[in-house]
Structure 1
């Protein structure tokens, strides 16, 4: 926590700074509640946001990033090598990310570059002065197949894995012993590792090439959409289209707006469509997506408490998308906002409850006094009345019984209705 060499950051799932060490204050004197991306150059912002999406979609992965911090340029450097990983609660809900960084100046001055293998997780290839392979470490062997491709004493660009990369020899005349290493992006012919971060340094025998594959390529969106744009525009409400791996490949404008409500920003195409920071809230939807990948359609209702303490409701239909051979291609999610209809229904239910109370009230209100009146009539002695009063009294008792019977019948009808 007291280190001036290392930067320590704890941020929430949106990248807002929550905790930090003294070294991190060099990026901003008051970083609390600021977005980490606000401390980065524009190019590094894009790289960080991309990695944040990846980590939230796959919490087990770690991301190694070289990010540029303009605030450090006064100290003679601006690049910081970061390692980010996800922080989870005991219930395995994602609560944020943690990042540990070290300035490139510190690495260059105080640490031999060949220690990158141990410290930063790079794989190492040793090349001679003509860029022919001399050796490689176990990490390189776990990512590629040097034996099968017969790397030994062959030129880097002559092997299958790196045949698409032709520019490394253009970098070599610029490198002299004692120069700073060259950082660049390499393309690989491997589908699993199409893009690699690379660092080239001078050694006594020739060069050291340090490589770190990207976890997921940038071009993750399939070239051919599962649903044509014309067909997509005909759907009402919110539409998400996932491929068979669960990645979001298409969405309409309503879907982007819904993403801002659910997540704070639109969901990114090319990434897994999931809810790592709130899986319980969307457990029914995630289960329905799993069922759709098995060929089963589901209709369900989603309910969410909004910041204004009112509930919002959505009706969702999740269906599998199959090709002409009935093979699963993806999942269609169509969502309709039913908040207004639900609110109207709830209002009608409240009004019905009130009407029910009003309908039952007369029976309770009238039968009490009427029962008392009938009890008094039973106690009265007709022999003490005059002839005319006795005549009226004899009419009063049947009328009271008739009124009591009418109230009872009305109460039964109301009970049947409600």
Structure 2
């Protein structure tokens, strides 16, 4: 993970640093594992937290972000690319971050490397912001069509400033040519882009990335109205084909907070990263319902305090549209803790009864075995006829008692 220019970090899904390279440790003055947000400004911390949530909802998409790291003397701006690392079964393993100081972007940095490593799309501009050239494949991939725009002022046609503040940044850049970050938008569909405008000897370079907005969250199709959702008993979560949370009722939000440590957010992934073993069966059933449409039921036992467990019956059902197509999965948690606790009490009582029933068997069989051994040593021929008669009754009765004790013990041992 060594590099002279790029920061490299490995995070867990909560944003805690698991591993990092040397220059990142020098930046944060720390080599210990801690939350990345501890080193950021308040605004950058909020932006980073939102980005992590967005990544969990769409793990296949990379995210780009400019973050302010607060030092003792001054803040350091770092441009990051974050991507999710998953297993072949799409279970989250961590988040990889690659970053570079914004200061490098103001100096003579190998721009082609910047495009390759951080996924920027590059557009060449004249000193009057006229489009000279672009990497068409790279630009079209992010939803921009530069055909017919060559020779035109890009900030008046293809990518206009998002507001007056960004227009002022463009005007200042034209005069002082100091690299700046911009928020731009496509006037045709209002898609927003993060832009980095830099100056070279003869021309300007504009590096752009699609900006993730909440529009993707708003586009989530919700199968039920809030009123319908409130009428469902128990805790409810509705997830889409990618296990993103579409809807939840108030009880679902409260319960997810109790189970996970924080409530689910709409658009986030339905997962329990720090308690994966406990919820593995539930998540496997949800994934199976997503893929096959098979409904399922799971009984879940979760520790709610150091000495107490809670019990829930989980119902998992597919949701279909009017055409019979599966569009989502409903997950319902019914609290059966009272029944579960009663069951545990009955199991405890049954165990005690079993031990009480088996105890006489062990107590009686030892002297009975000794008795049978002594009977074998007695020679009936040395007894008179009257005692021989009684002796003939005694041994069969002892064997019958031994058989009864053995049978009883076997019957009790099958109750677990």
Normalised TM-score (structure 2): 0.76
Q: Deviations over 1:271-298 (max 9, x none)?
A: 3334577767645434433343343311
Greater mean alpha carbon deviation, residues 371-380 or residues 228-237:
371-380
Q: Is the 8 A contact 2:78 2:100 kept in 1?
A: yes
Question: Which of 149, 152, 159 lines up with 2:150 in the alignment?
Answer: 152
Q: Secondary structure at the match of 2:71?
A: helix
Q: Is the 8 A contact 1:301 1:316 kept in 2?
A: yes
Q: Deviations over 1:10-60 (max 9, x none)?
A: 333322233344433454433513211011112111221223234445555
Q: Is the 8 A contact 2:361 2:409 kept in 1?
A: no
Assess, with a 3 A threshold, how the Cα gap between structure 1 residues 165 and 351 changes in structure 2: closer, same or farther: same
* Superposition RMSD in Å: 4.4
Greater mean alpha carbon deviation, residues 92-101 or residues 372-381:
372-381
Q: For structure 1, which runs of at least 5 residues remain unmatched after alignment?
A: 385-389
Q: Secondary structure at the match of 1:150?
A: coil
- Give matches, 1:209-248, under 5 Å: 209-214=206-211, 217=214, 219-222=216-219, 225-248=222-245
Q: Secondary structure at the match of 1:265?
A: coil
Alignment match, 1:50: 50
Q: Is the 8 A contact 1:93 1:279 kept in 2?
A: no
Q: Deviations over 1:299-330 (max 9, x none)?
A: 12346689959876543111112234433332
Greater mean alpha carbon deviation, residues 216-225 or residues 26-35:
216-225
Does residue 1:10 correspond to 2:5, yes or no? no
Q: CA deviation at 1:237?
A: 3.2
Question: Which of 92, 96, 99 lines up with 2:97 in the alignment?
Answer: 99
CA distance in 2, matches of 1:164, 1:296: 49
Greater mean alpha carbon deviation, residues 226-235 or residues 364-373:
364-373
Question: Which of 282, 286, 290 lines up with 1:289 in the alignment?
Answer: 286
The total of aligned residue pairs comes to: 407
Q: Deviations over 1:62-107 (max 9, x none)?
A: 43321011216x25x5211123344568998644334333221233
Alignment match, 2:68: 68
CA distance in 1, matches of 2:178, 2:391: 114
Q: Secondary structure at the match of 2:217?
A: coil
Alignment match, 1:137: 135
CA distance in 1, matches of 2:19, 2:82: 14
Q: Deviations over 1:122-170 (max 9, x none)?
A: 21223446654332213113323526x63234454665x6579575655
Q: For structure 2, which runs of at least 5 residues remain unmatched after alignment?
A: none
- Give matches, 1:362-381, under 5 Å: 362-366=360-364, 369-370=367-368, 373=371, 376=375, 379=379
Normalised TM-score (structure 1): 0.76
Q: Secondary structure at the match of 1:299?
A: strand
- Give matches, 1:162-241, under 5 Å: 162=159, 169-188=167-186, 194-201=191-198, 207-214=204-211, 217=214, 219-222=216-219, 225-241=222-238
Q: Is the 8 A contact 1:194 1:217 kept in 2?
A: no
